[in-house]
Amino acid sequence: MTRVVVPAHAKINLCLEIVGRRVDGYHDLCTVVQSVTLADTLIVEQGPSGMTLEVEDPAIPSDANNLVWQAAEQLAASRKQTIPGTRIRLEKRIPAGAGLGGGSSDAAACLVALNRLWNVGLSIAELVQIAARLGSDVPYFLQGGTALLTGRGIVVTALPDLPKRPILLVYPGAPLTSREVYSQLAAPLTPGVKTASMTRFRPNADSTAEAWVRFGNDLAPYAKRLCPDIGVVEECLLAAGASAVGMTGSGSAVFGVFRSAARMQGAVRSLARPGWRVMSCELLGCRDYQHRLGLAGRGFDPSWRDVGHGDH
């Protein structure tokens, strides 16, 4: 095998609850995430010597500051070997600083692709162990579909697939980093009453994306301080007929859930704004996700629970 191509799908956080602050400075959270069809593409090939990384987006680093590079180093280190001659090309479609998990998904896709190209032969469970060292969301991207993430986002519990829905993603053109948004948590907001806690919510066969979104995103008020357009996008999506609207991750992208593709396409036209990027996609179930990454039949099943082996 001399060339491997793997998609790196985006995710949305249907809801997100900050449970508390840890002694190590990180925050414990409880969030339901969902993979969508929007994806980057990772192309890995055998090269003459060493490793090169080419990224289409000049704003994204193409060196050791990129999680893709770090994933390759970690995979090689796990086998106590140097990186063989490898060329990596990353074709970006997921905007950076949007809360869509693009960097983490790219890292997971790199582990999958190089595991094949280098003929390393690691199991999914072994890849998950490496993924947990790379970042909070990375283990999830070795599973996909609908899942509950807890702790620092490393402990992954598979949930039943949700009914397919068209999704409209709107990136208001202002990137936010998790560090920026989480730093705002020290500043008080006007207290509000939460009508329900997602930590007490239990999914059932009738669960929908809309049902999860009702639990909200605890980071949204803080992100809106830094990027007021988040609230504007939410209002526009609701006015355009979305059945549920939420901010994903720590922002700044906002998603709208639609009941039909026709209604969503109408919304695309109404959301044209200078600097905004509007992307249509749909929910992606676990088995379909694993098939696209070539993980189907490799010992990974959506009935698995606690994919992350503890909170590191």
Residues acting as catalytic residues: 11, 137
Distances (CA, A) of 287 to 208, 210, 221, 294: 18, 21, 34, 10
Tell me how far the alpha carbon of residue 309 is from its chain's centroid: 19
| Number of neighbours of residue 248 by Cβ within 10 angstroms | 28
**Residue 292 burial (10 A CB sphere; 0-12, 13-18, 19+):** middle
CA distance 66 to 71: 9
> Contact, 36 vs 283, CB < 8 A?
yes
Q: Nearest CA to 28 among 15, 16, 19?
A: 19
Strand segments (E) across the chain: 3-21, 27-46, 51-55, 86-91, 146-151, 155-158, 166-171, 244-247, 254-257, 277-282
Q: Nearest CA to 98 among 170, 9, 16?
A: 170
